[in-house]
Amino acid sequence: MDQITIIRPDDWHLHFRDGDMLQETVPATARCFARAIVMPNLVPPVINAELAVDYRRRIEAAIPAGSNFTPLMTIYLTDKTSVEDIRAAKAAGVVAAKMYPAGATTNSDSGVSSLDSLYPVFETLADEGMLLLVHGEVTQKHIDIFDREKEFIDQHLVKIVNKIPHLKVVFEHITTKDAADFVMSAREGVAATITPQHLMLNRNDMLDGGIRPHNYCLPVLKRSTHQEALREVVKSGSSKFFLGTDSAPHAQHRKESSCGCAGCYSAWSAIELYTQVFDELDALDKLEGFASLHGADFYGLPRNTDTITLVRDEWVLPESIMLPSGEPIVPFYAGKQVSWKLKA
Ligand code: DOR
Ligand code: ZN
C-alpha cells in the first residue's frame, strides 16, 4: 500500500503554549488535525472557565484562514478547584479537566497535592459529562522515575476508576505495559492516549551513545519491552487507545541545557510518524480507528467527515525551526527521514 486515506484525525492531547508561540503551534497542528484537546499547563495555569475562554480566543486568532480547526478546552485541577468551577467550565464549553500531580512535569507546580480531597470534583465531572484527564505519575522522590507510572496506577488510578464508576478517565500518554494492561482490562469509560515517541523509541534512544535531550519527555521513555507492549495494543485495534501527540514545544536552549525541559515538539511530523509505525506493524488498517475514530467516540463527539491522505514518500524533518520570538526550536525527529507524507 503506497497511499492511505483516513477520516481527518484529531489530537486528543496537545500543548499549544501561549503568546506569539501560537503563530507557530496552531498552524502546525491545524495542517492535519480537525480538533485538539488543549492542555492547560500555561504559566499561570488555566484553572477556570474564564481563563479557558480567553485562551480559546487567543488560539482561535492564530488559526490559519480557511482552516476549520477547533480547539477543545480543558481546565487544570488544583487543590482549590471547586464543584462550582467545574459547573462553570461545563457551561463555558470546556470538555475536560486535567489532573497533574503537583511537581510531576512541566508547569505542574500548582497541580494536585491531595488527591483524596478532589473526589467531589471528580463526581461533578462525571455528573456534568466531562472527562478526567490524568497525568499518571506519582511524585514521591524515593520512587524510581521509571516506576512512577505503575505506582500511580496502584496508588491512585484503581481507586478513582472504581469509586466513580460513571467518570470517563483518559490515562494520558501511557508509557508502560502496566498501563496498557490496566486500560485494556479496565471498566468501560477508561481509555488512554499514546504519543508517537513512546511508540517509536525506548530509553536507549535517549541515553545510549550520549544524552539526547530532544527525546526527553515525561513520562520518560521506558525499556523496550514497554515500547513493544504499546505497539501491540495499537496493533490490536482496541478502541480504548487513541492518538494524543503530547506535542510540547520548548525552545532549543531550554532543552539543550544542564537541566533540560521535558517535551517533544512533534506537531510537524506526528501523523506521518504514527502512519510509519502502523505500517511497520503491518497494521495500516488500524490507523484510522486510532487516529480518527476512537477518540471522538470516547469523548462523545461527532466523528469528522472529511479525509486526509498520506502517501509513501520520503522526506527529512528540518534540523531546526525558527519560533516567532526569533528563538530556534528543534522539532521531534529533526534531521531524520520519514517514510510517509501528508498529501497537500
Ligand atoms: O514531556 C512533557 N512535556 N510531559 C508533560 O507532561 C508536559 C509537557 C510540557 O508541557 O512540556
Ligand atoms: Zn502533555
pLDDT, residue 121, reads 98
C-alpha to C-alpha distance for 207 and 212, rounded to whole angstroms: 6
When the pLDDT of each residue in the chain is averaged and rounded to a whole number, the result is: 97
The closest ligand to the CA of 249 turns out to be 1
So what's the pLDDT on residue 344? Answer: 84
Q: Ligand 1: does its nearest atom lie under 6 Å from the Cβ of 135?
A: yes
Ligand 1 pocket check for 248: Cβ under 6 Å: yes
Is 226 annotated to bind ligand?
A: no
Residue 118, helix vs strand vs coil: helix
What does the pLDDT average to over 227-247?
98
Burial of 314 from C-beta contacts in 10 A (0-12 / 13-18 / 19+): exposed
Instruction: Report, as an integer, the average pLDDT of 217-242.
Output: 98
Three cell numbers, residue 235: 496493533
Location of C-alpha cell 503551534 = 25
Q: How far does CA 81 lie from the centroid of its chain?
A: 22
- Using pLDDT thresholds of 50, 70 and 90, give the confidence band for residue 191: very high
**Best residue among 218, 247, 259, 266 to mutate for probing ligand 1, ranked by most atoms within 8 Å of CB:** 218
Please indicate whether residue 263, judged by its CB atom, sits closer than 6 Å to ligand 1: yes
Report d(CA 114, CA 156) in Å as an integer: 11
Give the total residue count for the chain.
Answer: 344
Tell me the pLDDT band of 192, cut-offs 50, 70 and 90: very high
Q: Dihedral sign for Cα 162, 163, 167, 168, please.
A: negative
Q: Please give the distance, rounded to the nearest whole angstrom, from the Cα atom of residue 213 to the centre of ligand 2.
A: 17
Q: What residues does each domain of the chain span?
A: 3-342
Pocket test for ligand 1, best of 100, 246, 265 (most atoms within 8 A of CB): 246
Checking if the pLDDT of 157 tops 90, the result is yes
The verdict on the CB of residue 15 being under 6 Å from ligand 1 is yes
| Rounded (10°) CA dihedral 213, 214, 216, 222 | -110
Cβ–ligand 1 contact at 317 (below 6 Å): no
Residue 139 — pLDDT band, cuts 50, 70, 90?
very high
Report the nearest atom of ligand 1 relative to the CA of 107: 10
Mean pLDDT, rounded, for 168-176:
98
Check whether 272 has a pLDDT greater than 90: yes
pLDDT higher than threshold 90 for residue 281:
yes
96 pairs with which residues across the strands?
Answer: 74, 131
In the structure grid, which three cell numbers stand for residue 17, read together? 503554549
pLDDT digits (tens, 9 = 90+) for 300-336: 999 999 999 999 999 999 999 999 999 999 999 999 9
Phi, psi of 279, rounded to the nearest 5 degrees: -65, -50
Is 17 labelled a binding residue?
yes
User: Cell triple for residue 126?
Assistant: 462525571
Torsion angle defined by CA atoms of residues 249, 235, 241 and 108, in that order, rounded to the nearest 10 degrees: -30
pLDDT at 105 > cutoff 90: no
For residue 40, the CA-to-ligand 2 centroid distance in Å is 9
Of 106, 255, 265, the residue with max ligand 1 atoms within 8 A of its CB, to mutate for a pocket test, comes to 106
The percent of residues above 70 in pLDDT, for the chain, comes to: 100
Strand 131-134 and strand 168-171: pairing?
parallel
Which residue has cell 491545524?
A: 30
Place of cell 511537581: 103
Q: Which pLDDT score, from 0 to 100, does residue 63 have?
A: 98
**Cell (9 digits) for 283:** 497494521
Residue type, 300: G
Pairing label, strands 321-322, 328-329: antiparallel
Measure 87 CA to ligand 2 centroid, in angstroms.
Answer: 24
Question: Does the beta carbon of 108 sit less than 6 angstroms from any atom of ligand 1?
Answer: no
Nearest CA to ligand 1 atom 10: 106
Domain 3-342 sits in CATH at: 3.20.20.140
71 touches 57 (CB < 8 A):
no
Show which residues are catalytic: 246
Sign of CA dihedral 197, 201, 203, 206: negative
Ligand 1 contacts CB of residue 202 (under 6 A): no
| Lowest model confidence (mean pLDDT) among 30-34, 107-111, 232-236, 330-334 | 107-111
How far is 290 from 214, CA to CA, in rounded Å?
A: 25
Number of the ligand 1 atom closest to the C-alpha atom of 104: 6
Residue 106's pLDDT band, with cuts at 50, 70 and 90, is confident
Q: E-strand spans in the chain?
A: 3-7, 11-14, 35-38, 70-76, 96-99, 131-134, 168-171, 190-194, 241-243, 307-316, 321-322, 328-329, 337-342
